[in-house]
Amino acid sequence: MEVMNKYWTIKTHIEDSPKEDDFYLKTSTLALSLGPGSKEMIVKNLYVSIDPYQLNRMKGSSSSQKTGGFAVGIAPGQGIEAFGVARVVASENPEYEKGDLVVGVVTWAEYSKIGSNGMIRKLDPMGFPLSYHVGILAFSGLTAYAGFFEICKPKRGEKVFVSAALGSVGNLVGQYAKLHGCYVVGCAGSKQKVELLKEKLGFDEAFNYREENDMNSTLKRYFPDGIDIYFDNVGAEMQEAAVANMNAFGRVAVCGVISEYTDSGKKAAPDMLDVIYKRIKIQGFLAGDHTGLFQDFISTTSDHLRSGKLCALEDISDGLDSIPFAFAGLFRGDNIGKKIVKIAEE
Amino acid sequence: MEVMNKYWTIKTHIEDSPKEDDFYLKTSTLALSLGPGSKEMIVKNLYVSIDPYQLNRMKGSSSSQKTGGFAVGIAPGQGIEAFGVARVVASENPEYEKGDLVVGVVTWAEYSKIGSNGMIRKLDPMGFPLSYHVGILAFSGLTAYAGFFEICKPKRGEKVFVSAALGSVGNLVGQYAKLHGCYVVGCAGSKQKVELLKEKLGFDEAFNYREENDMNSTLKRYFPDGIDIYFDNVGAEMQEAAVANMNAFGRVAVCGVISEYTDSGKKAAPDMLDVIYKRIKIQGFLAGDHTGLFQDFISTTSDHLRSGKLCALEDISDGLDSIPFAFAGLFRGDNIGKKIVKIAEE
């Protein structure tokens, strides 16, 4: 028994903004008969996550790739790893059987082969749509939760600034911050997004960064009393302006620097005199270090989702074919909320 | 009763590296008879501290000045505040009497008037030279102690890099780190300093940054296993290279950025991809926030001084007249250890 499998790969390493034709679809046959005792599985992918950080894995080299694990480089021709929800179609792993729903690291493909030490686990959907389990109830959610609560240690009433505030992580940080009693301002790249932030997600204020010339004075306008927490998803001049407008003992959680991913000349050079005299902490983090929070995160987040206090903002494209456009769109700012591709019906 | 008092002031705000002729000596009469109940004092200064951060107070504007307190701007013509040891010559403050030794904020002057809310306290020299109480047993020492132990949270065996390693703070950080069982490398600006670091202070390695062209590879050479802690006294490209060579969960304690004080165009732009993927913390701090550690710091440091495990490296100039040269010398790298000016015999 075998299936024809289609999967995406890159033609060459990608050094700038990704374009659709940086990718091509490969087809191969995948044997469904696995070696007995191999502990391998074949899964059929249902939903996969589309994330900006994946670009760093597609580069020829990036300091991120030295981290290992979830960040190692992806070679041209190779399958592209991604977080996803899938169903087991063949299993030699005694812990799983055909038909099981699983969540974890798969590939941008119709089917993925999961090795004996694959990063995967059984999924209990808990009554939520399966797509929630690649975004708000998975790494995007944990990143927002751990980054905001553990790294920023927010206090009620503090002033929070979130960039890329309609991104998969940013929109959740803003929502968690509002639920925590903070004043929250987000920035995004269109008028429609600004309206969504204020009207749908309850941000106190939001602005379109493309309409602003001097980010320093923009932030001064939105934060007359200064910023206590900056949740950074973009890096570069936005981080500099946030640090310049920060209060004493301010915290910058560096979650992503999307503006620097596609332009290696772009760098954040926050004023170190500010950093010293305002005792600012600039802290990089990865959700993977905070899995100890996972149960707490899941219970808090699912409660808020059920009570309607938290909104799951998803941007779902349909079909394996849509992946390159969806991925390139992240860097154009196309997505509104968590970008997901639905590969197959459940 | 009055005395003729000589004190230094600045001619205009200083925006670049300070030069001797940026300063001039003013003379005024100072009445020794204070208003009864005024709680004021007149003190005769014995030793004053000469510190790089004072330059930020002499600028027309600096983000540091917004911090208030010990960092507010100093106007041309005004006395220049400095930490010092002094003897009370007249007191309307019931807590002090003539002849008391005091330590705290005085001025670069023969005599200083201390207001009712002056930052000053009685000094018990504990058998140490008075000069120790403006440096190693005062803010320089507390800055090194709090910055290293509280901000960096070092573990035995960790790899520590210290810049401006023969400065007032850097030399102590290196010594504390060695006592804590760390591997310590320092950089300084001359061959003689490098020898002192290795031979007198027990640093594992040291190098002359003026002889290095590519700081990134220099640090790779001295830290083949990466840097865990960078104690930053200089900022700019040195910080960038340290971050590039840092291990996962590395910490940068930003104590001072002397290379940026005299050149507002110089900035540190550490690679934020490194910051994220290596989960690096970049933390500014001021010793004044860590006075809760003071007793602990004093008892540890004085024990080590008495047992000879810690070396008090002082660079003392003689006489009020020597202050401008001594201060300008900080930015030329003239000083070896804590720069102090002795103003009068005890």
**Chain A residues near residue B275 by CB distance under 8 angstroms:** 254, 282-284
Encoded tokens for B285: 């701090």
The residue among B220, B272, B274, B283 with the most chain A CBs within 10 A of its CB, best to mutate, is B272
- Residues of chain B in contact with residue A235, where contact means CB-CB under 8 angstroms, are 272
Closest-CA residue of chain B to A284: B276
- Token couple for B48: 């004053």
Least Cα distance to A119 among A75, A167, A154, A70 occurs for A70
What confidence score (pLDDT) does residue B49 get? Answer: 97
Rounded (5°) CA angle A68-B239-A64: 15
| Contact (CB, 8 A) for B276 and A257 | yes
Helix (H) or strand (E) holding B338: strand B338-342
- Report the distance separating Cα B227 and Cα A63, nearest Å: 15
- Phi–psi pair at A22, nearest 5 degrees: -75, -10
User: Cα–Cα distance between A124 and A119 in angstroms, integer?
Assistant: 16
Whether residue A69 is predicted with pLDDT greater than 90 in this model: the reply is no
Q: Do B275 and A254 touch (CB under 8 A)?
A: yes
Q: State the CB neighbour count (10 A cutoff) for residue B282.
A: 26
Taking the CA of residue A145 and the nearest CA in chain B, the distance in Å comes to 16
pLDDT at A70: 72
Please name the member of A232, A244, A285 whose beta carbon is closest to the beta carbon of B279: A285
Read off the amino acid at residue A5: N
Three-state DSSP class for residue B169: coil
Say what the pLDDT of residue B63 is: 82
CB within 8 Å of A150: residues ≥ 6 apart: A285, A290, A293
For the stretch A246-268, pLDDT in tens is 999 999 999 999 988 888 889 99
Instruction: Compute the distance between CA of residue A281 and CA of residue A327 in angstroms, rounded to an integer.
Output: 32
Mean pLDDT is highest, among A166-175, A265-274, B56-65, for A166-175
Q: Is A216 on the interface with B (CB under 8 A)?
A: no
How far apart, in whole angstroms, are the C-alpha atoms of residue B47 and residue B45? 6
Provide the ipTM.
0.94
Domains and CATH numbers, chain B: 2-135+313-342 (3.90.180.10), 139-288 (3.40.50.720)
Partners of A244 on chain B (C-beta within 8 Å) are 63
Query: Testing the interface with B: which of A56, A275, A286, A291 to mutate, by most B Cβ within 10 A?
Result: A275
Distance between CA atoms of residues A241 and A246, nearest Å: 9
Query: Which residues of B fall within a CB distance of 8 Å from A232?
Result: 272
CB-count burial class (<10 Å; 0-12, 13-18, 19+) for A269 = middle
What is the per-residue pLDDT for A71?
83
In degrees, rounded to 5, the angle at the alpha carbon of residue A280 between the alpha carbons of residues B235 and B106 is: 75
pLDDT at A68 over 80: no
Q: Which of B41, B17, B152, B133 is nearest to B84 (CA)?
A: B133
Tell me, what's the pLDDT at A205?
A: 98
A220 touches chain B (CB under 8 A): no
Question: How far is the alpha carbon of A230 from chain B, nearest alpha carbon, in Å?
Answer: 14
**pLDDT for A316:** 97
Confidence (pLDDT) at B346: 81
Q: Chain A contact for B112, CB < 8 A?
A: no
Length of chain A, in residues: 346
Residues A291-305 pLDDT 10s: 999 999 999 999 999
Each of the 346 residues of chain B gets a pLDDT tens digit; together they read 899 999 999 999 999 999 999 999 999 999 999 999 999 999 999 999 999 999 999 999 888 888 777 789 999 999 999 999 999 999 999 999 999 999 999 999 999 999 999 999 999 999 999 999 999 999 999 999 999 999 999 999 999 999 999 999 999 999 999 999 999 999 999 999 999 999 999 999 999 999 999 999 999 999 999 999 999 999 999 999 999 999 999 999 999 999 888 888 899 999 999 999 999 999 999 999 999 999 999 999 999 999 999 999 999 999 999 999 999 999 999 999 999 999 999 8
Judged by a CB distance cut-off of 8 A, whether residue B1 touches chain A is no
CB nearest B62 (choices: A62, A267, A273): A273
pLDDT in the model for residue B64: 84
Q: Which residue of B has its CA nearest to A247?
A: B67
R_g of chain A computed on alpha carbons: 20
Chain B contact present for A15, CB below 8 A: no
Take residue B141 and report the two structure tokens written for it: 């020492």
One-letter identity of residue B177: A
pLDDT tens string A331-343: 999 999 999 999 9
Pick from A64, A257, A276: which is nearest to B254 by CB?
Answer: A276
What pLDDT score does A304 carry?
98
A123 and A102 Cβ atoms separated by less than 8 Å? yes
Task: Using alpha carbons, list the distances in angstroms from residue A170 to A327, B14, B31, B46.
Answer: 17, 43, 63, 56
Asked if the Cβ–Cβ distance from A284 to B280 is below 8 Å, we say yes
Q: Is B276 on the interface with A (CB under 8 A)?
A: yes
As a whole number of angstroms, the distance between CA A298 and CA A285 comes to 19
Partner residue opposite A272 with nearest CB, options B67, B268, B273: B268
Q: Does B282 touch chain A (CB under 8 A)?
A: yes
Whether residue A254 and residue B239 make contact (CB cut-off 8 A), yes or no, is no
Alpha helices in chain A (DSSP H): 54-58, 139-145, 170-179, 191-195, 215-222, 236-244, 258-261, 272-277, 294-307, 323-332
Mutation for A interface: B62, B65, B276, most A CBs within 10 A: B276
Please tell me if residue A45 touches chain B, with a CB cutoff of 8 Å. no
User: Which of B285, B216, B219, B204 lies closest to B252 in space, CA to CA?
Assistant: B285
Please give the angle made by the CA atoms of A139, A145 and A149, to the nearest 5 degrees: 150
Task: State which H helix or E strand residue B43 sits in.
Answer: strand B41-49
Q: Looking at the complex, report in whole angstroms how far the Cα of residue B344 sits from the nearest Cα belonging to chain A.
A: 33
Question: How many Å apart are CA A116 and CA A88, to the nearest integer?
Answer: 14
